């Protein structure tokens, strides 16, 4: 039998640690949400990131002029490096938020929502901005309201570019009539299909088209900041999902109203509940668990603390432990946590080593940093991560980690540190049978047991 | 699914793994009779926009020198016919040219116009759709759609090689993906123990055994040597091995074509890799080279004029390189639009004379016997294949 604290740490948290006690029960996990709501490693604010990107873009332009001097090119190289450094610092922070957390439940939720509202920076102007987007749009709302997160995520410049909203023009708006430009349905479709109601809902193509019309006006300015531009906004009353929005002149609050209504839609509650249960508990979660979470989501008006409590308090959330697999970054953080690798040294890793030791291995394991495979995010099924290629990369990474960490513990005790009572007899035997301590540690970290959660 | 074992190794594994292997479709030996023939197609995606005007330099065009005052003076090219000349960094391909095993389309492109973004351009090239791209979620690649049309295709029939995403091979049909150069430094004992642990977990058993098998350095008793990451010749040799075994379709990327500055130098490494890859494919395939076609295609061309930094910027019309033992080569295919101001696209780019999809489309018809109607309906929707460019002997 796997104990409740072990399930709490591995299924909902960042994993077991030799120095941080496992959360004793659901209450301990729930309480940790408020404690861990503020990031331990404060990220660069979005505005500062935009400034960095703008500076880089300007210097890139200058370095390509006919009159460009070596100094111009050096200035661009420096700005580009500054962007890389900041982005790699984000990567170390996102691993550290798990590895050095009390429980890590808040950060696990942050990752869940970041994947739900999956996006990434497209083009040079928003290069390497997925992590910054998560910090700006997702993280502040993980213990808040779904409607607030929805608004922050889908109206974020990174999302507006990724899903082509900035190309969308109301055909009857001033600009649309003048230039004959039209609507782009991408963002509208994904909001309905992925972010709110879900594919099992009954919205129609007409809803998508109408919602796309309603969203016109939402765009970015040349500085890549959010802009509501009335000159491209489709005028008139627009009906989406049976509700009428807009006016002779559409305003941003009409769009916000539509988003709020979608957040409140019963299908959204079920969609979110199923995804949460699927992410944390099982590929095919118990329908009673899903219904329980959906009810809490609905009744609380999308209060995510209440929703999380519903997830944690249902007995089905504690059954069949280790049914899921750790995503690559979760594996890294869990290994660093179990080995108790010193925090300050990890945070101070220079960019080059961050790339070689973290970013490239993540890509090989299938979770490329600052990137998502599609607007639907990473698939959230257990087998998704376990391909031969990705598994080879996991084995390679833990082997290299252990080699860089020669003063590792004894594998026979490390089994308990890393997996507690979730360690299988086979793993205990194998750990004893390794040729060296380092190999034993590597074996434990590469084992199926440690790669499950 | 990733996997690089040849048939012999598969059989060995199937025996060694006993019931695990028997239960796994991936490790079940496939019958050669079921394979879709002996013809082979390799698509190299040249990411970054190759400057066709520099690679197949139109010396016969009177406007070239004025458009490219510096670039046209650099890297003295090797005459191909009385109009075009080959970049000297591809001099190793001249024997192929003379043997009729290389040709090129100097002015073609996807239907993507005016935005000139690498990402979107590559997506257009790989998705092979007409008009606006489908939403990212619904995108798949035309090589994958080809696999879906091949009777008897197995997961190993098509092979995506490398760490980069290959949209061109993504889609419903099962394909194989593997990055060469991922050997693991594990002791034999450690491998044994890991293998024991993986076998004890159904979710990990199959992937784990393949991962261990593929990452064992130096166990291959024959030609299966895995190249390191940036080694194009190794990549070519590796793909040749796959094509000699069960694979018939392979695709990989070569990068380094985005030559905004000092193109006379910047283009050399990329061309060197392209030449290495093609020659390694030819050498590695041996007699099977006669059944093989290589298409190297890029997302778009570059500006007709050189820029102030002696480079070129993102353009429209570009070149497609063809090689292979059965090619009716030693010729420029598809005409030349000219470089006079009024002949350029938007006054700045080489004018594409064709939809680039027509060339792989005809290759599919001629190599794999697919009907034109199936290609136009299922693989390249919206394409009118037009007259055959008669690519093959």
ipTM given for this complex: 0.89
Answer yes or no: is pLDDT of B300 > 50: yes
CA distance B212 to chain A (A): 7
Q: Do B197 and A123 touch (CB under 8 A)?
A: no
pLDDT of residue A402: 87
Q: Do B193 and A122 touch (CB under 8 A)?
A: no
For residues A164-187, average pLDDT: 94
Answer yes or no: is pLDDT of A80 > 60: yes
pLDDT of residue B55: 98
User: Mean of the per-residue pLDDT values for chain A?
Assistant: 95
Answer yes or no: is pLDDT of A325 > 80: yes
User: For chain A, what percent of residues have pLDDT higher than 70?
Assistant: 100
User: Mean of the per-residue pLDDT values for chain B?
Assistant: 85
User: For chain A, what percent of residues have pLDDT higher than 90?
Assistant: 89
Q: What ranges do the domains of chain B cover?
A: 40-183+232-379, 184-217
For residues A79-99, average pLDDT: 96
Q: Do A392 and B214 touch (CB under 8 A)?
A: yes
Residues 190-209 of B with CB under 8 A from A: 190, 193-194, 196-198, 200-201, 203-204, 207-208
Mutate to test the interface with A, among B3, B137, B217 (most CBs of A within 10 A): B137
CA distance B155 to chain A (A): 14
Sign of the C-alpha dihedral computed for residues B170, B174, B178 and B184 taken in this order: positive
Q: Distances in Å between the alpha carbon of B369 and those of B101, B293, B296, B361?
A: 21, 14, 21, 11
pLDDT of residue B229: 41
Mutate to test the interface with A, among B202, B211, B311 (most CBs of A within 10 A): B211
User: d(Cα A72, Cα A87) in Å, to the nearest integer?
Assistant: 23
What residue in A sits closest to B161 (Cα-Cα)? Answer: A389
Sign of the C-alpha dihedral computed for residues A233, A238, A239 and A245 taken in this order: positive
What residue in B sits closest to A162 (Cα-Cα)? Answer: B136
Per-residue pLDDT of B234-272, as tens digits, reads 889 889 988 998 899 999 989 889 898 899 999 999 999
**Contact predicate B304/B348, CB 8 Å:** yes
pLDDT of residue B228: 40
User: d(Cα A361, Cα A368) in Å, to the nearest integer?
Assistant: 9
For residues A208-226, average pLDDT: 96
Which has the minimum average pLDDT: A45-49, A123-127, B218-222?
B218-222
What residue in B sits closest to A450 (Cα-Cα)? Answer: B197
Residues 121-160 of B with CB under 8 A from A: 135-137
In chain A, residues with a C-beta closer than 8 Å to the C-beta of B197 are: 426-427, 430, 443, 447-449
pLDDT of residue A128: 94
Mutate to test the interface with A, among B4, B122, B135, B309 (most CBs of A within 10 A): B135
Mutate to test the interface with A, among B197, B203, B261 (most CBs of A within 10 A): B197
Answer yes or no: is pLDDT of B47 > 70: yes
pLDDT of residue B138: 73
Residue B190: HSE in the Cβ half-sphere, 13 Å Cα cutoff: 24
- DSSP state letters, A352-364: HHHIIIIIHHHHH
For the structural domain made of B40-183+232-379, what CATH number should be given?
3.40.720
CB B114: neighbour CB atoms within 10 A? 8
pLDDT of residue B183: 65
User: d(Cα A403, Cα A357) in Å, to the nearest integer?
Assistant: 12
Per-residue pLDDT of A232-265, as tens digits, reads 999 999 999 999 998 888 899 999 999 999 999 9
Helix (H) or strand (E) holding A240: strand A238-240
> Among partner residues A325, A364, A435, which is closest to B187 by beta-carbon distance?
A435
Size of interface A-B (CB pairs under 8 A): 117
State whether residue B228 sits within 8 Å of chain A by CB. no
pLDDT of residue B35: 54
> Among partner residues B185, B193, B210, which is closest to A399 by beta-carbon distance?
B185
In chain B, residues with a C-beta closer than 8 Å to the C-beta of A320 are: none
Q: How confident is the model at residue B362 (pLDDT cuts 50, 70, 90)?
A: very high
Burial of B104: CB neighbours in 10 Å, binned 0-12, 13-18, 19+: buried
Q: How confident is the model at residue A112 (pLDDT cuts 50, 70, 90)?
A: very high
Q: What is chain A's length? A: 453
Angle in degrees, CA B366, B370, B372, rounded to 5: 90
Residue A387: HSE in the Cβ half-sphere, 13 Å Cα cutoff: 17
Instruction: Decide which of A112 and A408 is more confident.
Output: A112
Helix (H) or strand (E) holding A95: helix A70-99
For residues B46-50, average pLDDT: 93
Per-residue pLDDT of A372-404, as tens digits, reads 988 999 999 999 999 888 999 999 999 889 877
pLDDT of residue B180: 66
> Among partner residues A389, A424, A446, which is closest to B178 by beta-carbon distance?
A389
Angle in degrees, CA B254, B259, B261, rounded to 5: 150
Q: Do B136 and A391 touch (CB under 8 A)?
A: no
Per-residue pLDDT of B135-154, as tens digits, reads 766 789 999 999 999 988 88
What residue in A sits closest to B166 (Cα-Cα)? Answer: A373
**Contact predicate A337/B98, CB 8 Å:** no
Q: What is the dihedral of CA B59, B64, B68, B73, to 10 degrees?
A: 30
Q: Do A388 and B3 touch (CB under 8 A)?
A: yes
Residue among B22, B63, B18 nearest B347 (CA): B63
**Contact predicate B155/B174, CB 8 Å:** yes
In chain B, residues with a C-beta closer than 8 Å to the C-beta of A64 are: 260-261, 307-309
Mutate to test the interface with A, among B17, B131, B204, B314 (most CBs of A within 10 A): B204
Tokens of A36: 């861990």
pLDDT of residue B23: 31
pLDDT of residue B217: 62
What residue in A sits closest to B162 (Cα-Cα)? Answer: A364
Helix (H) or strand (E) holding B221: none
Per-residue pLDDT of B82-122, as tens digits, reads 999 999 999 999 999 999 999 999 999 999 998 888 878 99
pLDDT of residue B19: 29
């Amino acid at each position: 039998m796997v104990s409740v604290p072990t399930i709490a740490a591995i299924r909902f948290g960042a994993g077991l640690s030799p120095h941080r006690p496992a959360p004793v029960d659901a209450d301990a996990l729930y309480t940790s949400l408020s404690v861990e709501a503020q990031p331990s490693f404060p990220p660069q604010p979005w505005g500062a990131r935009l400034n960095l990107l703008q500076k880089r873009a300007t210097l890139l332009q200058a370095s390509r002029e006919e009159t460009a001097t070596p100094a111009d090119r050096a200035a661009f190289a420096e700005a580009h490096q500054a962007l890389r450094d900041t982005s790699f610092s984000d990567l170390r922070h996102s691993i550290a938020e798990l590895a050095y957390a009390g429980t890590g439940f808040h950060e696990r939720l942050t990752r869940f929502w970041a994947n739900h509202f999956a996006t990434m920076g497209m083009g040079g102007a928003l290069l390497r901005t997925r992590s910054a987007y998560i910090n700006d749009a997702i993280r502040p709302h993980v213990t808040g309201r779904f409607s607030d997160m929805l608004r922050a995520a889908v109206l974020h410049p990174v999302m507006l570019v990724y899903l082509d909203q900035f190309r969308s023009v109301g055909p009857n708006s001033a600009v649309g009539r003048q230039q004959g430009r039209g609507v782009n349905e991408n963002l509208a479709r994904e909001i309905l299909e992925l972010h709110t109601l879900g594919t099992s809902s009954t919205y129609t193509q007409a809803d998508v088209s109408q919602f796309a019309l309603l969203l016109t006006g939402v765009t970015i300015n040349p500085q890549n900041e959010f802009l509501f531009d009335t000159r491209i906004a489709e005028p008139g009353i627009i009906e989406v999902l049976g509700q009428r929005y807009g006016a002779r002149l559409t305003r941003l609050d009409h769009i916000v109203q539509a988003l709020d209504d979608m957040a409140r839609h019963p299908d959204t509650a079920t969609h979110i509940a199923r995804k949460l249960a699927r992410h944390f508990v099982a590929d095919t979660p118990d329908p009673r668990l899903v219904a329980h979470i959906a009810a809490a989501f609905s009744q609380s008006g999308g209060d995510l603390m209440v929703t999380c409590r519903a997830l944690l308090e249902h007995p089905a959330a504690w059954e069949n432990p280790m049914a899921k697999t750790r995503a690559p970054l979760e594996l890294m953080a869990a290994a660093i946590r179990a080995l108790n690798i010193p925090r300050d040294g990890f945070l101070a890793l220079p960019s080059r080593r961050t790339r070689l030791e973290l970013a490239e291995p993540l890509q090989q394991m299938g979770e490329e940093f600052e990137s998502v495979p599609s607007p639907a995010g990473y698939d959230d099924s257990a087998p998704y991560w376990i391909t031969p290629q990705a598994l080879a990369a996991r084995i390679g990474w833990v082997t290299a980690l252990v080699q860089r960490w020669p003063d590792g513990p004894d594998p026979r005790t490390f089994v308990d540190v890393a997996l507690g009572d979730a360690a299988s007899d086979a793993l205990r035997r194998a750990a004893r049978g390794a040729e060296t301590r380092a190999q034993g540690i590597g074996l434990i970290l590469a084992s199926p047991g440690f790669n499950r959660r | 699914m990733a996997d690089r074992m040849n048939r012999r190794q598969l059989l060995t594994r199937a025996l060694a793994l006993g019931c695990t292997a028997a239960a796994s479709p991936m490790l079940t030996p496939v019958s050669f009779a079921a394979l879709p023939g002996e013809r082979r197609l390799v698509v190299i995606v040249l990411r970054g926009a190759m400057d066709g005007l520099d690679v197949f330099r139109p010396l016969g065009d009177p406007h070239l020198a004025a458009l490219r005052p510096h670039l046209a003076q650099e890297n003295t090219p090797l005459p191909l016919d009385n109009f075009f000349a080959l970049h000297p960094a591809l001099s190793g391909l001249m024997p192929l040219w003379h043997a009729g095993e290389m040709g090129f389309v100097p002015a073609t492109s996807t239907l993507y116009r005016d935005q000139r973004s690498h990402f979107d351009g590559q997506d257009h090239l790989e998705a092979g759709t007409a008009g606006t791209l489908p939403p990212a979620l619904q995108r798949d690649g035309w090589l994958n759609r080809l696999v879906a049309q091949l009777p008897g295709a197995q997961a190993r029939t098509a092979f995506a090689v490398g760490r980069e995403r290959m949209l061109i091979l993504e889609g419903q049909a099962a394909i194989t993906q593997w990055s060469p150069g991922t050997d693991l430094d594990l002791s034999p004992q450690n491998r044994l123990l890991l293998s024991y642990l993986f076998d004890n977990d159904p979710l990990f058993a199959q992937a784990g055994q393949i991962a261990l098998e593929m990452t064992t350095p130096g166990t291959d008793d024959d030609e299966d040597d895995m190249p390191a990451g940036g080694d194009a010749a190794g990549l070519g040799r590796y793909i040749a091995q796959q094509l000699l075994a069960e694979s018939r379709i392979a695709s990989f990327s070569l990068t380094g074509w985005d030559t905004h500055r000092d193109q006379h130098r910047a283009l050399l490494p990329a061309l060197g890799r392209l030449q290495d890859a093609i020659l390694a494919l030819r050498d590695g395939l041996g007699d099977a080279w006669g059944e093989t076609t290589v298409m190297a295609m890029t997302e778009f061309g570059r500006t007709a004029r050189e820029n102030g930094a002696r480079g070129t910027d993102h353009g429209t019309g570009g070149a497609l390189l063809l090689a292979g033992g059965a090619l009716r080569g030693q010729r420029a295919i598809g005409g030349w639009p000219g470089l006079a101001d009024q002949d350029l696209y938007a006054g700045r780019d080489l004018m594409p004379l064709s939809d680039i999809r027509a060339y792989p489309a005809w290759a599919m018809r001629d190599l794999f016997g697919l009907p034109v109607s199936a290609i136009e309906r299922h693989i390249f929707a919206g394409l009118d294949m037009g007259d055959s460019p008669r690519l093959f002997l």
